[in-house]
């Protein structure tokens, strides 16, 4: 409880424990990079989804007492229909000298846009614990329906046909691997 708080903080500071947290928002370098407080449209840069300024810390950022290498990105399919899932797999290796956790983050980008979409969008993540020198395969599922956008004209969710960049990394700014996935509009 409260009497253990000092010991817990010390364990984190000296590296005996890694809390493994990640930022859930961007931290701007300057207040000038933020829209006015009365601005509620997220497309004007308030979130990582649409922010074009270089922030001090990006969405998904976190520190670790070790290093991780990513390799071998594979997709269970090169293209999927809108009612299908794809499995995104990659290998993560602890190249440091401490056991630690990595949060593997899966983002998507839309290179051919018919409607305004986020610059980068988190679609999944997986936490993996690795001993020094250990490599593990990490799988993150991606449902095509998770790529849908709300069409105000038809009042329904729509999955846009076309290519989607699959991005895997340690944060929204630290992308290590990427591949193209084709989305079909077949039912």
Mean pLDDT across 124-136: 96
Where exactly are the structural domains of the chain? 65-183
Residue 187 — pLDDT band, cuts 50, 70, 90? very low
pTM of the model: 0.86
Mean pLDDT across 123-131: 95
Q: What is the structure's pLDDT at 82?
A: 75
Q: Give percent above pLDDT 90 in the chain.
A: 45
Residue 116, pLDDT above cutoff 50: yes
DSSP assignment of the chain:
-GGGHHHHHHHHHHTS-------SS-B-S-GGGSPPTT---GGGTTSTTT--S--SB-TT----SS-EEEEEEEES-SEE-TT-EEEEEEEEEE-SSS-EEEEEEEEEE-SS-SS---SSEEEEEEEEEE-TT-EEEEEEEEEGGGG-EEETTTTEEEPPPEEEEEEEESSSS-EEEEEEEEE----
CATH topology for the 65-183 domain: Immunoglobulin-like (2.60.40)
């Amino acid at each position: 409880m409260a009497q253990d708080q000092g010991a817990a903080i010390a364990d984190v500071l000296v590296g005996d424990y890694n809390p493994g947290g990640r930022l859930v928002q961007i931290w701007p370098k300057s207040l000038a990079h933020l829209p006015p407080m009365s601005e509620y449209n997220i497309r004007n840069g308030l979130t990582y989804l649409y922010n074009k300024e270089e922030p001090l810390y990006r969405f998904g950022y976190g520190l670790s007492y070790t290093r991780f290498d990513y390799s071998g990105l594979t997709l269970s399919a090169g293209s999927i229909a809108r009612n299908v899932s794809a499995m995104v797999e990659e290998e993560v290796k602890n190249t440091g000298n401490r056991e630690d956790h990595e949060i593997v983050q899966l983002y998507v980008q839309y290179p051919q846009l018919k409607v305004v979409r986020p610059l980068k969008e988190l679609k999944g993540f997986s936490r993996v614990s690795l001993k020094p020198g250990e490599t593990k395969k990490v799988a993150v599922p991606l449902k095509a329906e998770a790529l849908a956008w709300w069409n105000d004209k038809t009042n329904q969710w729509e999955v846009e046909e076309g290519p989607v960049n699959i991005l895997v990394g340690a944060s929204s700014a630290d992308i290590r691997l990427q591949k193209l996935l084709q989305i079909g509009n077949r039912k």
